[in-house]
Amino acid sequence: MADRRLILRAWLRAMRGLEYQLRGEQTRARNAMIQMAASEYLKLGHPPAHVFIAHRVRVRGIITEHYKRTIPVFAAMALSQIKSRRFDRKQAQNTFDSLTQDWISREALRKSTMIADTDRDDVLNALSDGMAEGLGAEEIARNIRKVSELTPFRAATVARTETHAAAAFGSVEGVRQAERDLGVKMLKEWLPTLDDRTRPDHAAMSGYGPIPMDERFEVGGSSMDRPGDPSAPPEQLVNCRCALAYTEATD
């Protein structure tokens, strides 16, 4: 297997670029919705539903396009670790397209709804708090606009978590597709980023494995197919930076 440090370094470098792009797109969408909600509140006395519906549609488009960018990058990175056989270019592209559409159909609507509804709730909470305090319309509108101050942290968390989940899916499922199509038997290994921001549960995965592709990692009491596995609890997912490495089975 290739040097684990090089694999992790390449993973994190790709993650950073994709996170940065998504963070900017999400921030712009959220702030545009906040400004529209404040303006409509001043005109109508309430932010109309179409403001939030349009935001949900925009967020879904952003998330969908982000998955299209992310999954092929990490699937290709994973396939490069298979040394004995290779997909041809067309076969690899078909694999990337199939994995991307699979993840979009599973996750895009659910994740975009969660993100957009959280943004909506921030606006509605600012509105209801202002009304409870007896503030005037201009003050309430200002409070709604101040919701944008939450954007940097929120956007960074969403960007990292969504990029990581899509990346790990593309990585592990790309290798599974290679097992089926190329007749190669692979093993997977969890690669934690070992620094002071890493969860103890994930740091403890250093040196765990490799294990067969159909087995699951035991991570702090959670059974996980991979880092970013959406079946795991949020405390094992949010802001995760762990990677995956692969090696061919020898028996």
Residue 217: Cβ within 10 Å count? 22
Q: Give rounded-to-5 percent helix, strand, coil for the chain.
A: 65, 10, 25
**Cβ neighbours of residue 176 closer than 8 Å, sequence gap 6 or more:** 213
**pLDDT-based confidence at residue 151 (cuts at 50, 70, 90):** confident
User: Is the pTM here over 0.75, yes or no?
Assistant: yes
Give the span between the Cα atoms of 80 and 242, in whole angstroms. 18
User: Of 15-19, 128-132, 151-155, 174-178, which gets the smallest average pLDDT?
Assistant: 151-155
Residue partners of 15: CB distance under 8 A and separation at least 6: 160, 163, 164, 167, 241
What's the pLDDT at 155?
87
∠ CA 175-176-179, nearest 5°, is 90
Q: Are the C-beta atoms of residues 194 and 103 closer than 8 Å to each other?
A: no
Question: Burial letters for 6-44: b for 16+ Cβ neighbours within 10 Å, e otherwise?
Answer: ebbebbeebbeebbebbbebbbebbbebbebbbebbeee
Q: Which of 97, 76, 98 is nearest to 87 (CA)?
A: 76
Taking only the tens place, the pLDDT of each residue in 190-214 is 999 988 889 999 999 987 779 999 9
